[in-house]
Structure 1
């Protein structure tokens, strides 16, 4: 272990990062696993992946510089000694030169140290020394644009194939036009560190696109609809896209069927999350009995088809491109264990996630804009729910409807707890959803 790591600087740095996500002022680091050097610190810049155990396992690539750099201050972690020499240590993903070194293994003919593998899909290679740009949005991972590619460095790690790589590799091989094709990935043994795929340069984010539509309705709802400002057509096409991707996943990945015991286990999981939500946020207690009734209404005697699903589907996981909608980020919810993220599930989970996202997109505009009369907001949500479900072709059998209802309730309960803790001004959105659903 490097001598400087024993100091509190890294702990303090982790605590400030959104991708660490623990909400702690102090972080207890129990282990740092240092992978092989990608560049030698004795030559002025040392770069390597370091895997930090702090409750969970985290990917923290570091750069070691012999002189401090003011322009890299955002990613500065601390100063300390390495083999008796003083170095200034930075998060390598905030250091452009270090990022280039982390990426060089994707170049044709590049040598990489033992223990680190750069896998490339046939025909792909990065140009050596190509410029790279760090995306500024703070999320659960850290993304970098390099040429026509986007590389995502996973921050929270787990042994086993990352679902984002597994699913996108299968869909890329199938030739899916509804995703951004996978180009390669970085791994250390059985731990995936990063993945790289095609960058959709002209795309717009689904969340922003939907909210723009809502804002257009504020001024003149009739004129906005006539001018194409209404989002319902896009929602229908997005539903069609998700249905295609689900079908492609069925073709290339495992499928199954839930019988009575598996449906009972689902109801138990949903009920356990309900009980947890009630304990963390008493405001949802009034809905608890009706939520339990909704969960119990899922017919355990009817087989439920299950498959691999997106697992964290919402408007922010979609891109509107000139060739149509594309779905991204198949990692699932990074905070959940890998077993949960790869569990076969009903497509209702993804459909419910999108329905909740449409509701959020519309009502977040109302909150930010101070709109009190939300009649046109509710109308927008209703039209887009109908359009999305129509585009998807969602089944209207009793069991399918009960499943979708249950997953929407489950998602709304999670949202109430989250917003109560982190964004109380928005808690009215999921509370309104619970009133509607229950």
Structure 2
């Protein structure tokens, strides 16, 4: 059962993609690995109260439902055809209306007494949220939910109308004098800020944009693997006037909370500050699985005067590396004289998503299977029929020779999970006369 945010066509947020908001239309989509699906009976129950929030049987490929109340919910789907039925269950968490947000300058430049525009992009959807805005010049505005006329959170702010764009909100701004202003937008405890410069019509900061504009939206980050490096390129229209000639650019890299896009940790990004520092080379060791923001700002005399651009980067986890042998060999020969060959994939496997991970660290749910066949390629493959061996569930065990037929070739497969992905390792074992390097537990 796939559970998706319908309007964005993406999974939920959080480590297990199990988090949604009260503003999300959630799509429940049964999936078959083979065979038709005739009908799905869906039940959504609030766990703590034991109340059924939604129950419906449908024959279409999916159904969309908006959970209006925050809480922990258990989703049960009875997926059936004319022959079989299957039960799929998931737990989802429905939280507040806004995950996070970012401000960006929509108008190329801001001049005194000229109306400009700033875009507030929501991480998620927020047409029912009340947005409180401080323009940094003493003026404050409240943007009520769509269809409403007042904000409770900032009831003393003058109300402004809002456009019917669910993923973003356009703020109209007017400043009287030339200066640097900090705009602050808040929805409950979630805030976003933007530094803007209001300059004369004859002297304004360069217009900076990203070479790939789509990644400036936190809802559409660029996806890379944890082993990949990335270059983020910004572009300038080249406008320079005497006032902004001393301005230099600085990149910052932030680890973000996957649910809210809040900046939770600043990373180190080596660079030389200059007026041409418009390219960020982000190497793989600077990142880890999760959501990141590469932020470019303009600075004069060590003070930020211009919020230029942000690029959002989603780093996908790598599959665990599962090995039976220290150097990753998948075929070995073992002496028939051995008393008990030992297999230790947990001691040679690792989670590539954890920097400098110890062997076996972060790996769980070990499963080891075994097949065998006679030492010729035309013989049938059968299961080894091994009993449950001590340590097998931990990926570290030995097999007594009485359980083995040394005239057979054995194929072992180990699987382990890092919570997101499952890694698989294989080993072929052939028994030969005489002394050969044997399997050992390090």
TM-score, normalised on structure 1? Answer: 0.25
Considering Cα pairs closer than 8 Å and 6+ residues apart, tell me whether 1 or 2 has the greater RCO: 1
Higher helix proportion: 1
The two structures have a TM-score, normalised by structure 2, of 0.25
